[in-house]
Chain A
Amino acid sequence: MTPMAIGTGVNELALAVFAIVLAITLAITYWASKRTSTATEFWAAGRGITGLQNGFAMAGDYLSASTFLGFAGLIFLFGVDGWVGLAAAGASFLPVVLLLAERMRNAGRFTMADVLAFRLKERPARIAAALGTLAVSFVYLIAHMVGAGVLLQALAGIDFTLSVLLTGTFMMVYVVFGGMLATTWVQIIKAGLLMTAGIVLTVLVLAKTSFNPVELFDRAAGNHEDAKGYLGGGLQHPNSINAISFGLALLLGTAGLPHLLMRFFTVPDAKAARGSIGWAVALIGAFFIMTMIVGVGARAILGADAVEASAGGNLATPLLAEELGGGAGSVGGDLFLAIISAVAFATILAVVAGLVIAASGAVAHDVWTSVVRRGRAAEDEEVRVARVAALGLGVLAILASILAGPEFNVSILVGLAFAVAASANLPALLMALFWPRFNTTGAVTGVVGGLLISLAIIVMSPPVWPGPDGEGSPVALANPAIISIPAGFLCCWLGTVLSRERSAASSYHELHVRAETGIGAV
């Protein structure tokens, strides 16, 4: 292997570490499968997860390869510009802490739609919420499966298509057999692995400058051809509207991510929900700060020579690990690279499993039981449909990811998923919980409007529009958030005030009391 190159042939050591990780997750799935038969067990792990466990699982659900590899890479490439989006994502947990965590737990059962359906007309509200959940989950899912394919191809030498197939298969096995219990423990273990890897990398990076962080930043800036831009911004998004839009998507998207909100239903009560989000915020914030140090460290230690080998920045962290372990070809370097690659793989598996289980809830709990069967489906039927849905969604995601292909930029896809979440899901959820006048028409126009507007802008935007670099795309925005989030709120409001429907204020009182106090919570 030449220095600063990864991805020549199959990496046996990486495969061996992958195999260990997979064996552990399969053992968990087998254990969980014996404890998963009812709907509460399938979607909510029997509500027997503790606050601390759920905090780790939320961190495992949220911290994606896009954080560990994508954002570290963006900071490696662009400095401050990369860090702004990640720090904004850190603050994005505040609406979840302050407004959603306990209220979701108190008022919901399995899915985001439960909260909307509580006070609105059940069928339209559930269809709309299911649509929002499916759209966000699917975009996010494809982003991560493409990421998994690119990673495994580069790090272990497995072909892209085979990598996507492998990731998708394991994801389906966890969810179909082990439900939320298996998914939760895969996420907890992954969070532990990821935090450990982050701490080790951070300490090793800081040790390079004798634990003087200022010198680390000095070296990083010295290794960049545009030190001013690296330290002050303007490199990643020459157009400041795009930078603001991307930042807003990350700042507001978290509170609309259905797979994250679903995790609140796995704990026994609101107190544990509060504990979970507290632990999650602590862990995720700490990991973000470590990611900044790793990204800056990659620039300081690897220098500009690694830009090409980092494949758009995504491989900066593994390259750094290889260098810190002793360099390419050394035993330490190979081993550290293999371990970091396996952690990245485990990261992706935990996230996609969480996404599939959220999407299966939308299909089976919201659409099948409540809309198709009009509430007359027995519980074991609902779980059966959920398993079939997870399988079907998994196959669809595999096919879509293979079609999208390795050229698709993973970080951009993640930014788009956040924009859709903040535009379609967040407005309706907040208004259902806090606006007495809100009604079903408002919820449907809000979710559908936010979804269509964000998707329309995405389709017409440079990242997706066909042609080289999306040239000639009708919209110049790389991320729709700056238009689609206000539009989503506006659609909720307009739909409510323009419809002649009687307001759902009477059911608001019940939802209000239940959400605030936990009275009658399941």
Chain B
Amino acid sequence: MADAAPRAVDWTAIERLPEFRELTEGRRRFAWVAGALGVGAGALYVVLAATAPDLMRTSLGGSFTLGFAGGVALILLTWAITLAYMRRSARVWAPLEARVRERARELGAPEPEREGRFAREGAPATRRAPEVQA
């Protein structure tokens, strides 16, 4: 990429930082477990709806059957997982990310670039050179 750092950065050294490990391992575990749960529940619902109409016809009150309720439950589950991820991001992972960035700066990692509206607010001369991919 064009924005590869001008000096060599030891990316594996950043990967070895304890903060980085804590961040990625925790977040990845959450993502795979919650993702498997949600997508698995979706797949189960799709398969059951296709193969077990008698089960899907189970009434949960009049004509409101398991077939309809299952889909509503799937969306509620999607909301719950998304909300849990957002809250944990704000509370746990975002502060960890900031700490990793700080430590990484000491290891020579590049600063985030600011372009677009941030550049436009300044002088036009600060606009980045053509964004070419080397």
Write the residues of chain A forming the contact surface with B, with a CB cutoff of 8 angstroms: 38-41, 44, 46-48, 79-81, 83-84, 86-88, 90-95, 97-99, 109, 114, 117-118, 122, 213-215, 217-218, 220-221, 227-229, 231-234, 237, 240-241, 243-244, 247-248, 251-252, 268-271, 274-275, 277-278, 281-282, 285, 288-289, 292, 296, 369-370, 375-379, 382, 509-510, 512-513, 516-522
Contact partners of B3 in chain A: CB under 8 A:
520, 522
Please give the distance in Å from A90's CB to the nearest CB on chain B: 4
Alpha-carbon separation in the docked complex, A501 to B49 (Å): 44
CB-CB nearest in chain A for B127: A38
Given contacts A248-B43, A285-B78, A292-B68, contact A98 B35 (CB under 8 A): yes
Q: Are A513's CB and B14's CB within 8 A?
A: yes
Contact partners of A114 in chain B: CB under 8 A:
1
Most buried by B among A81, A281, A376: A281
Interchain residue pairs with CB less than 8 A apart (13): A39-B131, A46-B120, A97-B82, A231-B67, A248-B46, A274-B86, A274-B89, A378-B132, A509-B11, A510-B11, A519-B14, A519-B109, A520-B113
Please give the distance in Å from B113's CB to the nearest CB on chain A: 5
Majority secondary structure, A binding face:
helix
Alpha-carbon separation in the docked complex, A243 to B12 (Å): 46
Please give the distance in Å from B127's CB to the nearest CB on chain A: 7
Most buried by B among A99, A217, A292: A217
Contact partners of A268 in chain B: CB under 8 A:
116-118
Contact partners of B5 in chain A: CB under 8 A:
520
Alpha-carbon separation in the docked complex, A88 to B61 (Å): 23
Alpha-carbon separation in the docked complex, A231 to B20 (Å): 50
Additional A-B contact list (15), CB under 8 Å, known A80-B56, A517-B20: A44-B116, A79-B68, A91-B75, A97-B81, A97-B85, A99-B35, A227-B63, A232-B53, A232-B54, A251-B42, A289-B75, A376-B132, A509-B15, A519-B101, A520-B5
Alpha-carbon separation in the docked complex, A221 to B132 (Å): 60
Q: Which of B9, B42, B117, B131 contacts A510 (CB 8 A)?
A: B9
Q: Are A91's CB and B42's CB within 8 A?
A: yes
Q: Are B63's CB and A83's CB within 8 A?
A: no
Alpha-carbon separation in the docked complex, A377 to B133 (Å): 9
Contact partners of A229 in chain B: CB under 8 A:
53
Please give the distance in Å from B131's CB to the nearest CB on chain A: 6
Given contacts A86-B71, A271-B94, contact A370 B31 (CB under 8 A): no
Q: Are B15's CB and A513's CB within 8 A?
A: yes
Contact partners of B46 in chain A: CB under 8 A:
84, 88, 243-244, 247-248, 251
| Interface residue B50 (Cβ < 8 Å from any Cβ of A) | yes
Alpha-carbon separation in the docked complex, A237 to B89 (Å): 41
Binary interface encoding of chain B residues 48-59 relative to chain A, with 1 for a CB under 8 A from any of its CBs, else 0:
011101111100
Q: Are B57's CB and A91's CB within 8 A?
A: no
Q: Are B115's CB and A243's CB within 8 A?
A: no
Q: Which of B11, B47, B56, B115 contacts A244 (CB 8 A)?
A: B47
Contact partners of A521 in chain B: CB under 8 A:
112-113
Please give the distance in Å from B27's CB to the nearest CB on chain A: 8
Alpha-carbon separation in the docked complex, A94 to B97 (Å): 22
CB-CB nearest in chain A for B76: A285
Contact partners of B64 in chain A: CB under 8 A:
213-214, 217
Given contacts A122-B133, A233-B56, A509-B15, contact A518 B101 (CB under 8 A): yes
CB-CB nearest in chain B for A227: B63
| Interface residue B92 (Cβ < 8 Å from any Cβ of A) | no
Given contacts A83-B71, A233-B49, contact A512 B35 (CB under 8 A): no
Contact partners of B14 in chain A: CB under 8 A:
513, 517, 519
Q: Are B20's CB and A513's CB within 8 A?
A: yes
Q: Are B79's CB and A281's CB within 8 A?
A: yes
Alpha-carbon separation in the docked complex, A87 to B94 (Å): 31
Q: Which of B61, B67, B118 contacts A233 (CB 8 A)?
A: B67
Alpha-carbon separation in the docked complex, A376 to B133 (Å): 8
Contact partners of A275 in chain B: CB under 8 A:
86
Q: Quick one: which of B1-60 are within 8 Å of A by CB?
A: 1-5, 9, 11-12, 14-15, 20, 23-24, 27, 30-31, 34-35, 38-39, 41-43, 45-47, 49-51, 53-57
Alpha-carbon separation in the docked complex, A474 to B104 (Å): 57
Alpha-carbon separation in the docked complex, A448 to B86 (Å): 35
Please give the distance in Å from B87's CB to the nearest CB on chain A: 10
Please give the distance in Å from B129's CB to the nearest CB on chain A: 8
